[in-house]
Amino acid sequence: MHAKPFLLTMALLVLIVVCAIPLYGIYRHNAAYDEAFPPHSSLRIDPTGTQALHNALASQPALLVERLHTDLYFFELEEPSVVLLSGAAYGPDPESMLERFEKELERGSRVVISFAGWDRPDELELILWAEEAPDEEEKPDEGDDDGEGEGEAGGEGEGEGDEEPTVDISARWGFTYAVREFEDEESSEWPPENATRVVPSGVLPETVPWSSEIVFTEAAPEWTVIYERQGEAVVMERRFGAGSVVLSSDSYLLTNEGVRDAACAPYVSWLLGDYHRVIFSESHLGLQEQPGFMKFIIRFRLHGLLLALLITAALLAWRAAYSVVPRHSLAEDDAEQYEHRSRDASFVLVSLLHRSIPPDRIVATCVSEWSRSHPHAPVPRVAPTGKSAAAAVAAYRALQLQLSRTPGSAGKPFSTSTKDNAGTP
């Protein structure tokens, strides 16, 4: 491997890591604010989030704190727990989802629905205006044919039947919404008013700060008003079988700002009840779980496999870019290839001779071939000088010397080496 490309690659990797660290810090900073998590999320660290309450409860050894990212359509608990829905929106919900809630409530769970009243007052006003405004445009004209009107009504009913029916919890559980403006609109204090406790209690504080103009009116007898503002309920509780549901028109006391400034720990403790498992819902805020490849890796703890795949991919890329064996120059490669080809040709010739000529016929075959190739050249003969091994070797060498000579070479032996005959045509 060449040192220079390797050092350049390592320098590039270090530069990428150094640039990625501040970018990741910027992402984490932005993710904790408006860009990623909505208000009232337990993943948000600014004043409108609820991460402070989540972390404070999670630090308690006796509590098991979780986040709920699954769709509320499939809401189901393994054991009775308290579920916090901070920053809930106004409007109708699917009946099947409310039925699941009621089923869990009857099994002994507790659901705390805290509306986002302080940052969505206009939304509720539009809903109330739509409910109170007369719907004159949809009324059929008196001159229309009765049969035609019935046909249109039947068509609308058929189209609506394809969708899941929805209902607002106010109509299902027996209460209504209303807006009561603050008495001092120009107050510089925040929250501008306080809510007063109605029921006798040795745990709940007498007053708590309130920042929402939303109140609950016309509550059914099953509801118990806990706090009120301007004589109207803002916190109330209702029993469902072995469980209960709590409605609050304000989420300020659950936010990071409320936990820091208001310090209403008794109120939060009353909301949680005696449950040891606390679930912060994120799905109603739009943060639902989306299964993917990384979720699969984390769930089945395949971090080692992922690391092995990354290392293998890096090694394959490194192998494709560099050669493990040191590279030679082009001239050296050509010389080696020529030498290999020459050796291969000599090996083939020797193997052919070994298979074709018996060992005792080698000398006779050489003399015959010499005579046939050089018919006018006399064949030298070497007389044996003795029967010893040394005499036989000397005679063979003399014969080899005579056979290697060619006519006109002036006694110079002909060499079969590639290097010696590189310039011979």
What does 241-255 look like in DSSP terms, one character per residue?
Answer: TTEEEEEES--GGGS
Task: Report the chain's C-alpha Rg in angstroms.
Answer: 48
Instruction: State residue 143's pLDDT score.
Output: 44
Q: DSSP string of 138-197?
A: TSPPTTS-HHHHHHHHHHHHHHHHTSPPEE-HHHHHT-EEEE---S-TT--SSS-EEEEE
Instruction: State residue 24's pLDDT score.
Output: 67
Q: Is the dihedral of CA 64, 67, 69, 74 positive or negative?
A: positive
pTM above 0.75, yes or no: no
φ, ψ of residue 124 to 5 degrees: the values are -70, -40
Instruction: State residue 328's pLDDT score.
Output: 53
Nearest to 114 by CA among 283, 281, 289, 287: 281
Rounded distance between C-alpha atoms, residue 39 and residue 115, angstroms:
12
Rounded distance between C-alpha atoms, residue 330 and residue 169, angstroms:
83
Buried b (16+ CB within 10 A) or exposed e, 3-17: eeeeeeeeeeeeeee
Looking only at the bridges linking them, the beta strands covering 214-217 and 176-179 are antiparallel
Instruction: State residue 137's pLDDT score.
Output: 45
Rounded distance between C-alpha atoms, residue 292 and residue 195, angstroms:
45
Helix (H, G, I), strand (E, B) or coil at 115: strand
Instruction: State residue 195's pLDDT score.
Output: 93
Rounded distance between C-alpha atoms, residue 214 and residue 235, angstroms:
11
Q: Which fold has domain 37-132+165-290?
A: Rossmann fold (3.40.50)
Rounded distance between C-alpha atoms, residue 317 and residue 315, angstroms:
5
Q: Is the dihedral of CA 163, 98, 56, 254 positive or negative?
A: positive
DSSP element (H, E) containing 85: strand 82-88
> Where in the chain are the domains?
37-132+165-290, 359-417
Instruction: State residue 233's pLDDT score.
Output: 95
Rounded distance between C-alpha atoms, residue 52 and residue 260, angstroms:
8
Instruction: State residue 425's pLDDT score.
Output: 38
Per-residue pLDDT of the chain (425 residues; tens, 9 = 90+): 455 666 667 777 777 877 777 766 666 655 555 557 888 889 888 888 899 999 999 999 999 999 988 877 777 788 899 999 998 888 888 888 888 889 999 999 999 999 986 555 555 555 555 555 544 444 444 444 444 444 333 334 444 445 778 888 999 999 998 888 888 766 667 778 899 999 998 889 999 999 888 899 999 999 999 999 999 999 999 999 999 999 999 999 999 998 988 778 899 999 999 999 999 998 888 877 666 666 667 767 777 887 888 888 887 777 776 665 555 555 555 666 656 665 666 667 777 777 787 777 777 787 788 788 877 777 666 555 455 666 766 777 776 666 555 444 444 444 444 444 444 33
Nearest to 236 by CA among 221, 254, 255: 221
Rounded distance between C-alpha atoms, residue 67 and residue 133, angstroms:
40
Instruction: State residue 112's pLDDT score.
Output: 95
Left if phi > 0, otherwise alpha if psi is -120 to 50, otherwise beta: which for 73?
A: alpha
Nearest to 413 by CA among 394, 398, 425, 423: 398
Rounded distance between C-alpha atoms, residue 283 and residue 85, angstroms:
9
- pLDDT tens string 121-172: 555 555 555 555 544 444 444 444 444 444 333 334 444 445 778 888 999 9
Half-sphere exposure of 387 (CA within 13 A, CB side): 0
Q: DSSP string of 59-81?
A: T-TT-EEEEE-S-GGG---SS--
Helix (H, G, I), strand (E, B) or coil at 82: strand
Tell me whether the omega of the peptide bond preceding residue 92 falls within 30 degrees of 0, making it cis.
no
DSSP state of 35: T
Rounded distance between C-alpha atoms, residue 79 and residue 89, angstroms:
26
